[in-house]
Amino acid sequence: MSEGPAYRTIREWAGDERPRERLLEHGAGSLSHAELIAIVLRSGVPGENVVDMARGILDAHGGLSGLMRADAKALQRTRGLGPAKAAQLAAAIELGRRAQLAEPAERPLLTRPETVFELLAPKLRGKPREEFFVLALDTKGRLLGGIAPLNGGSVNAVAVRPSETFREAIILNATSVVLVHNHPSGDPRPSPQDVSVTKGLIAAGKLLDMEVVDHVVIGATGFVSMKREGMGFERGL
C-alpha cells in the first residue's frame, strides 16, 4: 500500500515556494487566490498547512466570488476559521470591496496640466521652499499611490536625482509620471535649471521605459506646463 505525500508545513517549503517570499520577489499578481488568502491567514491547522487550508476555504464557498459574498459569521462556520482568522479574512475582503467602489472618485485623471494645478496648488500655496513631486500614472493617466514631495529644497532650487525620481513609480508599476514643483517667488516661469533638470529626467525615464508626460511649475496664482511650452520637451511629441 503506497503512502500519500508527507505533510509539510510552510516553514519546510523552499524559499522560492513560500507565498510571502514569492509575493515580495515577484509581486502579488504571481500568486494564486489560495496563496493570497494564506498570507492573510498566516497559519494553518494541525495536519494541514495554510495554503491547503485556503484551498479548502475557497472550495467551501464556491470559489473567490462566493467567498467575497460571505460575511464574518459565515466565515466562522468554515473549517479552520475561528473568530480571529474569520475577522482577518473579512477585513481583507471588505478592503478590496471598498477599493473597487472608491477607485473612480479617489484616483484623479491627470492628463491635463490644469488638473495637476487644481490638485497640488492648495498644498503648495504659501510654501517658503521649493518642493518636488512625482505623480505616478497608470495607462489611462490616473494617479497611482499618494501625493508627497520627493524631497525638500531651498528657497529657489530643488535637487533631484533620477534614481529617487522614478523609484516609487517603478514600485507602483506606473507607465508614466508627471513632474511638479513650485516657485515660492510666485512666478511660475521655468528657470534654465528647471529646463536642464527636466531634459535629464526625460532622458533617464526613456532608459527605464517611463514616460515623463509633463513638468508643471506652480506659482502663486497660475502654472506653466513645460510640455505645452516646449521647454525641455521636444515639440510635437
In a domain? residue 91: yes
- Average pLDDT for residues 109-133, to the nearest whole number? 90
- Domain of 18? 10-105
Q: Is the pTM of this model over 0.85?
A: no
Q: Tell me, what's the pLDDT at 203?
A: 95
Does residue 47 lie within any of the structural domains?
A: yes
Whether residue 132 is predicted with pLDDT greater than 70 in this model: the reply is: yes
Last residue of a domain, one of 105, 134, 156: 105
* pLDDT number for residue 105: 52
Which residue's C-alpha cell is 533617464? 204
| Residue at 34 is within a domain | yes
Q: Are residues 120 and 203 in the same domain?
A: yes
Last residue of a domain, one of 55, 73, 105: 105
Query: Is 122 domain-assigned?
Result: yes
Domain end (from 105, 140, 160): 105
* CB-CB neighbours of 9 under 10 Å: 11
Task: Transcribe 178-201 into DSSP letters.
Answer: EEEEE-TTS--PPPHHHHHHHHHH
| 219 and 118 part of one domain | yes
3-state secondary structure of 136: strand
Residue 4 lies in a domain: no
Convert the pLDDT of each residue in 157-186 to its tens digit.
Answer: 556 788 889 999 999 999 999 999 999 999
pLDDT for res 188: 95
Number of domains comprising the chain: 2
Same domain, 143 and 160: yes
pLDDT at residue 198 is higher than 70 = yes
**pLDDT given at position 151:** 67
DSSP track, 50-89? HHHHHHHHHHHTTSHHHHHH--HHHHHTSTT--HHHHHHH
Q: What is the pLDDT of residue 7?
A: 60
Tell how many helices (H) and how many strands (E) occur in the chain.
Answer: 11, 6
Residues 6+ apart with CB under 8 A from 28: 36
pLDDT at 70: 86
Residues 6+ apart with CB under 8 A from 163: none
What pLDDT shows up at residue 100?
A: 63
Mean pLDDT score, 195-219: 95
Same domain, 66 and 40: yes
pLDDT band at 226 (very low <50, low <70, confident <90, very high): very high
Q: With respect to residue 235, please indicate whether it lies within any of the assigned structural domains.
A: no
**Residue 164: CB atoms within 10 Å:** 13
What average pLDDT does this structure show over 39-62?
Answer: 89
Mean of the per-residue pLDDT values of the chain: 85
* Residue 148 shares a structural domain with residue 193: yes
Domain CATH code at residue 121: 3.40.140.10
CATH of residue 44's domain is 1.10.150
Identify whether residues 30 and 90 lie together within a single domain: yes
Q: Percent of the chain beyond pLDDT 90?
A: 50
Selected residue with higher pLDDT from 14 and 92: 92
Same domain membership, residue 215 and residue 139: yes
- 206 confidence band (pLDDT: 50, 70, 90): very high
Residues 145 and 221 in one domain: yes
